[in-house]
């Protein structure tokens, strides 16, 4: 019996839906209560601007792209044209804008599902938050801070952190843009997914080694604080509890409104990335954003699995 045939989707979907709604009500009820009492919802925690410069961001990007291309080329070479080329004759019903992980778990193989969970729910949140929030947004915040000192009008028109959050969120959403494509062999998609994970992890390790040597980056600069770890995990989970219901409601609405050949993910992820950026901006630690991102991807895997049940 395959993985897709073992669960009871109506029961699981009902439980998850009710839990998500109650979590939303609880979190936002607490937020409104704190607001009415004049207490800060998420206090801003100051720290020095990150020490890396634009050249460091470009270097990290160049290394990441080189590793990504190398990993994908290796996968293509190992599998060969039998697995990597698109079919000569395609069925229109097989062409859609579904995420690659959704296509893979549709195969109903437990091993494939575990690999998808490892890549999508564990590696991707860590590497994407490390680059987009920590490296890119951290540098943009430092850049904006320098400009704001000499531009009083900018301080009044655009509060600190707004421009970096919006720009980073746009780039994050743009990276997830997809349109309708025919289905190649599942092994090819699996290889590309794992290659992307390997490239992301190697780039992150390279950056963690590079920045302390090059610009004297400390663990705090790199978004890490051991004494805040459990509080940061709790903050990320609470943020997901408050955002899950509107995120999935928006996703469902866009699925019904957009044509089949355009994925709704970038539009939803733009607003989700704003929440990720706000968490980083207010705490200047990376764990809350990683936990929030992991929670969304894990729940999305579960929802995709239930949607594919027969």
CA distance 296 to 290: 10
Query: Each residue of 251-310: pLDDT tens digit?
Result: 888 888 887 777 788 889 999 999 999 999 999 999 999 999 999 999 888 877 776 665
Please check whether residue 278 lies inside any domain of the structure. yes
Sign of CA dihedral 28, 31, 35, 36: positive
The domain of 73 spans 3-33+50-307
**Long-range CB contacts (within 8 A, 24+) of 140-145:** 140/164, 140/167, 140/168, 141/49, 141/50, 141/281, 142/49, 142/50, 143/54, 145/49
Global confidence as pTM: 0.87
Per residue in 233-259, is it b (16+ CB within 10 Å) or e — as a string? eebbbbbbbbbbbebbeebeebeeeee
* pLDDT above 90: percentage of residues in the chain: 46
Q: Total domain count for the chain?
A: 1
Please check whether residue 39 lies inside any domain of the structure. no
Sign of CA dihedral 239, 241, 246, 251: positive
Per-residue HEC secondary structure of 272-296 comes to HHHHHHHHHHHHCCCHHHHHHHHHH
pLDDT of residue 4: 42
Among 161, 78, 110, residue whose Cα is nearest residue 4: 110
Q: What is the mean pLDDT of residues 161-182?
A: 85
Write out the two tokens for 106: 């549709």
The confidence band for 5, taking pLDDT boundaries of 50, 70 and 90, is very low
Count the alpha carbons within 13 Å of 202 in the hemisphere toward its beta carbon: 16
Query: Each residue of 42-80: pLDDT tens digit?
Result: 888 888 999 999 999 999 999 999 999 999 899 888 888
Please check whether residue 98 lies inside any domain of the structure. yes
CA distance 184 to 178: 15
Please check whether residue 94 lies inside any domain of the structure. yes
Q: What is the DSSP string of 128-152?
A: HHIIIIIIIIHHHHHHHHHHHHT-H
Contacts of 141 (CB under 8 A, 6+ apart): 49, 50, 160, 161, 164, 281
Q: What is the mean pLDDT of residues 88-97?
A: 53
- 8 Å CB contact between 268 and 247: yes
Please check whether residue 132 lies inside any domain of the structure. yes
CA distance 116 to 121: 8
Backbone angles phi, psi at 135, to 5 degrees: -70, -55
- 8 Å CB contact between 285 and 218: no
Please check whether residue 42 lies inside any domain of the structure. no
Write out the two tokens for 165: 């959050």
**Does the structure show a pLDDT above 90 at 117?**
no
Please check whether residue 8 lies inside any domain of the structure. yes
Please check whether residue 240 lies inside any domain of the structure. yes
Q: What is the mean pLDDT of residues 232-259?
A: 91
């Amino acid at each position: 019996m395959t993985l897709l045939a073992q669960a009871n989707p109506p029961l699981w979907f009902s439980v998850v839906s009710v839990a998500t709604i109650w979590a939303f009500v609880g979190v936002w009820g607490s937020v409104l209560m704190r607001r009415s009492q004049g207490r800060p919802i998420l206090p801003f925690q100051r720290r020095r601007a990150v020490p890396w410069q634009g050249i460091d961001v470009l270097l990290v990007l160049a290394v990441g792209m080189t590793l990504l291309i190398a990993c994908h080329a290796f996968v293509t070479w190992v599998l060969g044209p039998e697995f990597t080329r698109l079919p000569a004759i395609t069925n229109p019903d097989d062409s859609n804008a579904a995420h690659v992980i959704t296509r893979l778990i549709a195969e109903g193989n437990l091993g494939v599902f575990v690999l998808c969970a490892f890549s999508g729910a564990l590696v991707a949140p860590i590497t994407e938050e490390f680059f987009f929030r920590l490296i890119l947004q951290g540098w943009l915040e430092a850049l904006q801070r320098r400009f704001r000192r000499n531009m009083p009008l900018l301080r009044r028109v655009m509060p600190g952190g707004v421009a970096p959050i919006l720009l980073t969120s746009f780039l994050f959403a743009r990276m997830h843009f997809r349109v309708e494509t025919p289905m190649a062999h599942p092994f090819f998609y699996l290889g590309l997914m794992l290659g992307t994970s390997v490239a992301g992890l190697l780039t992150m390790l390279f950056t963690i080694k590079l920045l302390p040597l090059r610009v004297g980056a400390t663990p705090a600069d790199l978004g890490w604080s051991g004494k805040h770890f459990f509080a940061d995990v709790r903050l990320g989970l609470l943020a997901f509890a408050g955002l899950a219901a509107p995120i999935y409601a928006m996703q469902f609405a866009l699925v019904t409104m957009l044509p089949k050949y355009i994925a709704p993910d970038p539009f939803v992820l733009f607003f989700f990335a704003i929440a990720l950026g706000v968490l980083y901006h207010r705490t200047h630690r990376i764990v809350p954003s990683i936990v929030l991102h992991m929670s969304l991807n894990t729940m999305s895997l579960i929802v995709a699995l239930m949607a594919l049940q027969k």
